[in-house]
Amino acid sequence: MSRRHLLATVLCLGLGIAPVVQAWENEIFSLRNRWENITTAMDETRRADALSSLAGEAGALAEANPDTSEVLVWQGIILASLAREVGGLDALGPAKDARRVLERAIEIDPQGYHGSAYVTLGALYDRAPGWPVAFGDDDTAERMFQRALEIRPEGIDVHYYYAAFLADEGRDAEALEHARRAMEGQAREGRQASDEVLRRQAKDMVERLED
């Protein structure tokens, strides 16, 4: 729940009014929990199909709530996860769709749902092929990661994905710094499983870079 929604809930309770929960909030809770399970606990052979199905649900929710940034961010996260899972040329479609909806989410909310839109965009720009095949661009990727750091400087995901980008660029000293900060970062409520996976991957990165 965002700070704005939490404040509204507290005010409503103080006035003896039952807080109103938007229908999409329950849907996002379900999508988030299933995404966590798919990406952290499901067998690899089943992930692509499961993420494809989840992306369809997220797309339907986004069509019903086209101006709700949180919905669009989660649609983008799921599409980006699908792109990463399928890989190769099959990843281009969901990757481009993810970029489109995440950029729209940022137009609505410049904070990008606590920086999550920027982290995901950074990873997309880092991994996608460059022009003319796709939209990959290292400079844009770094700008996205740096914006995410401004918004959520202690995020495990922010530091891990930025560290991975820096390591690929051969900037090992910077990568090591951010990998260490990922190890020490704060896991998010509702995202503990995926954040702890990233924390372990950051630890492995630190060990590699220190060798």
Q: With a cut of 90, say whether residue 8 has pLDDT above it.
A: no
Quickly state the pLDDT bin for 10 (edges 50, 70, 90).
very low
Give backbone dihedrals phi and psi of 78, rounded to 5 degrees, phi first: -65, -45
Residue 145's alpha-carbon distances to 110, 115, 134, 171, in angstroms, are 14, 9, 19, 15
Q: Is the pLDDT of residue 19 over 80?
A: no
Instruction: Give percent of the chain above pLDDT 90.
Output: 87
Q: Hunting for tokens 């409520």 — which residue is that?
A: 189
Tally of CB atoms within 10 A around 176:
18
Whether residue 207 is predicted with pLDDT greater than 60 in this model: the reply is yes
How confident is the model at residue 1, as a pLDDT?
45
* Strand partners of residue 186: 155
pLDDT digits (tens, 9 = 90+) for 173-193: 999 999 999 999 989 988 999
Identify the band that residue 3 occupies on the pLDDT scale cut at 50, 70 and 90: very low
Model confidence at 20, pLDDT cuts 50, 70, 90, reads: low
* CB 127, CB 84: distance < 8 Å: yes
Half-sphere exposure of 30 (CA within 13 A, CB side): 10
- What percentage of the chain's residues is helix, strand, coil (to nearest 5)? 75, 0, 25
